[in-house]
Structure 1
Amino acid sequence: MSSNNTSLKATPENLMVQDTLRWLERAVIGLNLCPFAKSVYVKGQVHCTVSAAATLEALRDDLLQALKDLVALDASVRDTTLLVVQNLLQDFYDYNDFLNVADDCLLALHLKGEIQIASFHPHYQFAGTDENDITNFTNRSPYPTLHLIREVSIDRAVAAFPEAEAIFDANMATLSQLGLDGWKALKVGSTLPQNESDEKKSS
């Protein structure tokens, strides 16, 4: 599924891609939450795809395939992949549990040290924070999402931003200043019809 095409037919999967890219543009890039994201996005090197898996086993298979597809391509063609989960992991704790499966996928493909998997979720919550703490929104995406990142790209980005360790603190300050109303004004949530969103939550 193309990462930068916003004229796709309005199927649920395509809406999810469009919502995810809108979040990437307005929040991640727009608020500069990840200074490394803009360059690969404008070059068309961000691939966004949706897993319609109905079981955790099928989702694992989709993740394995996404990892294989990523490393099979040169970074100049596909630097990173956003794997959006359509039907599963709506509960943040279930999502957290699946991250162990994701780590096992890296081990199975001998990709530890080559690929990292970053986590984003609509209900992301850092340990020790309240549910509506604005700082949680650094990792809140429209849908459960697994971000597959090349280690070499991380190393290159860190070299370009010597104070990369300060990004987290800067993000906390940015979101604290923005506030919940400011975040809502970005309109970076799901645009799926409500009945479909409800069905996803109950699955």
Structure 2
Amino acid sequence: MPAADTVVADTRRWLERAVIGLNLCPFAKAVLAKGQVHFAVTESDQAPDVLRDFERELQALVALDAAKRDTTLLAIPNALQDFLDFNDLTAKAERLVRKRGLEGVVQVASFHPRFVFAGTDEDDITNATNRAPYPTLHLLREESIDRAVAAFPDPAAIYETNMQTLEDPGEEGWKALGVGPSP
């Protein structure tokens, strides 16, 4: 079980080198530079406990002004190593957002070391757009997404651009980023 500070450091390195460094999310750089990204780690090793920690982070996010905390990355280093189990938990997290009356306020994105898009092979490099060093639930404010998308010339092109960004250097280029968990 990695220490929480190691998990945060690994997640931050992934955010800086892959997500921002490769410009996979053109909106991430500004919130990180402004100190509005909250890195959280659940030490839970069972899905129900992870969901409880997710709810705590959800409540903390909406309780703060976006200028203080715009987004939260909840890393899950000790549970949900199986991608399908993680996918099930992501659906439960999304239901929890709806149950709390926060649909349209907070959106959940998911990242996993073994993320696989439907219709792709597991070793397809394009899956790396959603691969993080640990299973991670990303809580995003819908209002911030709307503002960012409105300011971006062609948000629909991001997905296709990301695919090309990863295909060019391939698996070797991804590995060279050093964005996996610390040994």
4+ residue runs of structure 1 moved beyond 4 angstroms? Answer: none
**1:53 CA displacement:** 1.2
1:80-91 paired onto structure 2 within 5 Å: 80-91=71-82
In the alignment, which of 150, 170, 195 is matched to residue 141 of structure 2?
Answer: 150
Quote the RMSD (CA, aligned, Å): 0.9
Q: Structure 1 unaligned runs (5+)?
A: 1-10, 193-203
Question: Residues 117-164 of structure 1, C-alpha deviation per residue, up to 9 Å, x if partnerless?
Answer: 001000000011111101000000000000000000000001110301
2:68 is paired with a residue whose SS is coil
| TM-score, normalisation: structure 2 | 0.97
**1:178 CA displacement:** 1.6
Aligned twin of 1:14: 5
**1:28 CA displacement:** 0.2
Aligned twin of 1:120: 111
Question: Residues 163-186 of structure 1, C-alpha deviation per residue, up to 9 Å, x if partnerless?
Answer: 011000000011000200000000
Amino acid aligned to 1:47 = H
How far apart, in 1, do the equivalents of 2:46 and 2:164 lie?
Answer: 39
**1:54 CA displacement:** 2.6
1:117 is paired with a residue whose SS is strand
Aligned twin of 1:138: 129
How far apart, in 2, do the equivalents of 1:88 and 1:108 lie?
Answer: 24
How far apart, in 2, do the equivalents of 1:94 and 1:55 lie?
Answer: 11
| TM-score, normalisation: structure 1 | 0.88
Among all aligned residue pairs of Structure 1 and Structure 2, give the percentage whose two residues are the same amino acid: 57
**1:19 CA displacement:** 0.3
How far apart, in 2, do the equivalents of 1:35 and 1:71 lie?
Answer: 23
Aligned twin of 1:108: 99
| Matched positions, count | 182
How far apart, in 2, do the equivalents of 1:47 and 1:56 lie?
Answer: 21
How far apart, in 2, do the equivalents of 1:186 and 1:55 lie?
Answer: 30
Question: Residues 86-143 of structure 1, C-alpha deviation per residue, up to 9 Å, x if partnerless?
Answer: 2111000100111121012102211111000001000000011111101000000000
Q: Structure 2 unaligned runs (5+)?
A: none
